Each structure stands twice: as structure tokens, then as C-alpha cells.
């Protein structure tokens, strides 16, 4: 079990990409600043993908332009191809994430190419990133199941993870895109990928569709994983992963890690406020149970 876990906040990207109501760039910037004030050091700020596919992310350059740089905070963005990379460089990014899948069908639906083609498409992206001193993170989706194919072989997860690591990703985030895995399966996949690329190069990314995310995260950090993705207010989902709900909420993750003595550097109260802010902007209740409990207790007056 690590003493410290680094949280990668994906709410402004994974969260807002899946909302029917597109929030303005001003609101996104306010949300991101609140997350930064809560002590989160890595905040995914958006993506440079086709605006026809994901219109909610079309203003990512505007969002980045309004964010103060420095202060040890990184704002990675998703990049699917060279076109996205050029746009990301134009916006002055210092980190990108490329995203592949362990499922052929999900790869085709999400980025319109096979897994092998996606790796070849990412190769020049990583070269350009490297030439511009831009760090590259990698995602592997559908590591515990696919919305189209169902079962996904661990071997497929290991194979694509190795390829992304060989391309030059400093970290690979293993995504349970549809929130279908349970702890033993999550642990086994982490072990299998760790054997090839080392546990220190791994992060985990759990959607909470079936309420298994925290249990899965605990199983993975017990294997030595020390980077965990989460989203304030439990936002999240992928338009190409039908039936998937939000990511594990940052607030619930911080509460659990605080409780078991794993440091995150994140202030729970401020994370709750950031989550409540974006939930209010979206006009819906927060998905964080901890936040719901805190709000309920605020309104609770003990009997005299
Ligand atoms: P394509 O459909 O194969 O088409 O796109 P294309 O490359 O021929 O381009 C079609 C049009 O898109 C053209 O415009 C391009 O200019 C434009 P048109 O000529 O029709 O006007 N285009 C772009 N525009 C802006 N930025 C770009 C770009 N590229 C092309 N970078 C592509 C392939 C990958 C671009 C497309 O399929 C796409 O954008 N997919 C994005 C899917 C996505 O963002 N999914 C959500 C993120 S992944 C996720 O959520 C999972 C994760 O959270 C982990 C987990 O949970 O497992 C990371
Ligand atoms: Mg996701």
C-alpha cells in the first residue's frame, strides 16, 4: 500500500464531455481553478478531438488560455491524432494523453480505427510531443469489459499497454470504461500489466456504473498502484460507451484515502465545494456520496 496517491482529476474532460448541456468556457475555468485550489496537481482540462464527435470539448483552447500556468499544476489534454497535436501545441500544453483500447470494437466506435492503426497513428503524435518537451500519458480503455464485445482478454490489455509504454508514455491509465469489473479481476489485470511495464508506470481509471469503483481502487492500490483518476461530483462517461456512468468521485476517493491514512494533498472540504459548484452549474445533484452526506448534515439540526 503506498503512503501517497496522486489524484488525476478528469472531471473537466471525462466529466463534461458526456454532459448534454455544454457548460461555457468561463464555468470550466472556474471549475478547474476550484479543483486546483483544493490541492489537485493534475487536472485534465479538455481534449483536442473532432468537435463533430465531442462538441462539449470544442473550446479547450479557450479554457487553456484562461488558466494560470505554473504553481506545479499540470493540465493534460486528450489528443487523438496529429491534427489534435498541432492544436494542443498551439494552446501551449505541457502534457497530452493519447487513448487506445483493449477492445477492437470500442476502438472503432471511439476513434474510428483498429487498435493497431491507433498505435501507428499515435507514433508521430508522440514524436512531435517529445520534440516539443510535452509529456505523454496513455489510456487503455475497456480493460475489464467492453460495451460491444463483453469479455476482454487480459492479454489484449497487456499487449496495448506495452505498445503505449514503448511509444513513450510515462504512465498508462487502465480504464474500466463501463464500470463492470470487480476487485479480483481489477487486481489480476494490474498484476499482469505490472509484470510487463512495472507498477510505477500505472494509473487506474474506474467508472462507477455498478458501484464497484472504490473497491476496485483499493484492490489496485494494495498492488502498489499510486496514481488514481477521479472526477469531482462523480461526473463522467464516454459517448461511445453506452450505459457507462460517471467516474469514481474525487470527494469519495479522498475520503477513503484519508480514512486509511494514504495522503493525497487534497483538501476534502474544498473538493466538495468544487463538486457542488459544477453540479449546480449542470443543474443536477452531485454524484458524490460523501458530498451528499456533508450537505445533509449541514441541514441537520440536533433536537434540543
Ligand atoms: P474520423 O472520424 O476518423 O475522421 O476521426 P477524420 O480523421 O477523417 O476527420 C473527420 C473530421 O474531423 C474532419 O473534419 C477533420 O478535420 C476533423 P471535416 O473535414 O469533416 O470538417 N478532425 C478533427 N477536428 C479537430 N481536432 C482533431 C480532429 N481530427 C479530425 N483532432 C477522430 C478520428 C479520432 C478524430 C474522431 O473519431 C474523434 O475525435 N474521436 C474522439 C472520441 C473521443 O473523444 N472520445 C472520448 C474520449 S475517450 C474516453 O472517454 C475514455 C477514457 O476516459 C478512458 C476510459 O474511460 O476508458 C480516456
Ligand atoms: Mg473515462
C-alpha cell at 254: 479522498
What stretch of H or E contains 20? none
Residue range(s) defining the domain that contains residue 248: 6-298
**In this structure, is the dihedral angle defined by the CA atoms of residues 15, 225, 68 and 86, taken in order, positive or negative?**
negative
Task: Tell me if 1 is assigned to some domain.
Answer: no
With cut-offs at 50, 70 and 90, classify the pLDDT of residue 300.
Answer: low
Work out the pLDDT band at 298, boundaries 50, 70, 90.
confident
Residue nearest to atom 25 of ligand 1 (CA): 50
Indicate whether 118 belongs to any domain. Answer: yes
Spatial distance between the Cα atoms of 190 and 28, rounded to a whole number of angstroms = 33
Residue 301: predicted pLDDT: 61
Indicate whether 100 belongs to any domain.
yes
**238 catalytic per annotation:** yes
Angle between helices 104-111 and 115-131 (to 10 degrees): 60
Least reliable range by pLDDT among 21-25, 209-213, 257-261: 21-25
Rounded mean pLDDT, 187-204: 98
Closest ligand 1 atom, CA of 80? 34
CATH number of the structural domain spanning residue 286: 3.20.20.70
In a domain, 287, yes or no: yes
Ligand 2 centroid–CA 229 distance in Å is: 9
**pLDDT tens readout for residues 28-72:** 999 999 999 999 999 999 999 999 999 999 999 999 999 998 889
Residue appearing with cell numbers 496529429: 82
Residues 236-248 have pLDDT tens digits of: 988 899 888 899 9
Residue 126 pLDDT: 98
The pLDDT, as a whole number, for residue 303 is 60
Choose which residue among 15, 49, 81 to substitute to test ligand 1 binding: the one with the highest number of ligand atoms within 8 A of its C-beta: 49
Q: Which of 25-39, 159-173, 177-191, 230-244 has the lowest mean pLDDT?
A: 230-244
* Residue 304, in any domain of the structure: no
pTM of the complete model = 0.97
- Asked if residue 222 is part of any domain, the answer here is yes
- The mean-pLDDT minimum among 4-13, 66-75, 140-149 falls in 66-75
Ligand 1: atom nearest CA of 176 is 57
Tell me what the pLDDT averaged over the chain comes to.
96
What are φ and ψ of residue 219, in 5° steps? -60, -40
Does the pLDDT of residue 304 top 60, yes or no?
no
Cell of 198: 512495472
CB-based pocket (< 6 A), ligand 1: 14, 17, 47-54, 78, 80-81, 83-84, 87, 99, 110-112, 139, 141, 175, 177, 205, 207, 238, 240
Spatial distance between the Cα atoms of 45 and 74, rounded to a whole number of angstroms: 9
In a domain, 112, yes or no: yes
The total number of structural domains that make up the chain: 1
Ligand 1: atom nearest CA of 207 is 56
Contact present, 236 and 255 (Cβ < 8 Å):
no
Query: Nearest residue CA, atom 50 of ligand 1?
Result: 238
Which triple of cell numbers denotes residue 255? 475520503
Amino acid at each position: 500500500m503506498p503512503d501517497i496517491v496522486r489524484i488525476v482529476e478528469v472531471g473537466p474532460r471525462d466529466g463534461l464531455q458526456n454532459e448534454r448541456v455544454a457548460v461555457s468556457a468561463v464555468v470550466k475555468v472556474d471549475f478547474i481553478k476550484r479543483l486546483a485550489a483544493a490541492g489537485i496537481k493534475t487536472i485534465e482540462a479538455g481534449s483536442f478531438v473532432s468537435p463533430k464527435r465531442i462538441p462539449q470539448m470544442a473550446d479547450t483552447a479557450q479554457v487553456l488560455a484562461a488558466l494560470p500556468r505554473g504553481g506545479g499544476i499540470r493540465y493534460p489534454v486528450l489528443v487523438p491524432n496529429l491534427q489534435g497535436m498541432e492544436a494542443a501545441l498551439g494552446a501551449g500544453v505541457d502534457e497530452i494523453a493519447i487513448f487506445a483500447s483493449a477492445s477492437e470494437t470500442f476502438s472503432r466506435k471511439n476513434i474510428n480505427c483498429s487498435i493497431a492503426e491507433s498505435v501507428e497513428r499515435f507514433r508521430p503524435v508522440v514524436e512531435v510531443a517529445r520534440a516539443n518537451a510535452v509529456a505523454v500519458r496513455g489510456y487503455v480503455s475497456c480493460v475489464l469489459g467492453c460495451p460491444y464485445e463483453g469479455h476482454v482478454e487480459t492479454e489484449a490489455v497487456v499487449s496495448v499497454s506495452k505498445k503505449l509504454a514503448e511509444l513513450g508514455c510515462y504512465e498508462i491509465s487502465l480504464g474500466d470504461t463501463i464500470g463492470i469489473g470487480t476487485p479480483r479481476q481489477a487486481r489480476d489485470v494490474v498484476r499482469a500489466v505490472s509484470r510487463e511495464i512495472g507498477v510505477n508506470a500505472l494509473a487506474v481509471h474506474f467508472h462507477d456504473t455498478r458501484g464497484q469503483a472504490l473497491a476496485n481502487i483499493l484492490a489496485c492500490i494494495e498492488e502498489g498502484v499510486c496514481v488514481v483518476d477521479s472526477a469531482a461530483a462523480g461526473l463522467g462517461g464516454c459517448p461511445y460507451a453506452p450505459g457507462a456512468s460517471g467516474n469514481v468521485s474525487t470527494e469519495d476517493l479522498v475520503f477513503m484515502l484519508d480514512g486509511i491514512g494514504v495522503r493525497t494533498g487534497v483538501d476534502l472540504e474544498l473538493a466538495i465545494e468544487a463538486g457542488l459548484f459544477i453540479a449546480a452549474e449542470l443543474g443536477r445533484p452531485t454524484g458524490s456520496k460523501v458530498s451528499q452526506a456533508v450537505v445533509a448534515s449541514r441541514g441537520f439540526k440536533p433536537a434540543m
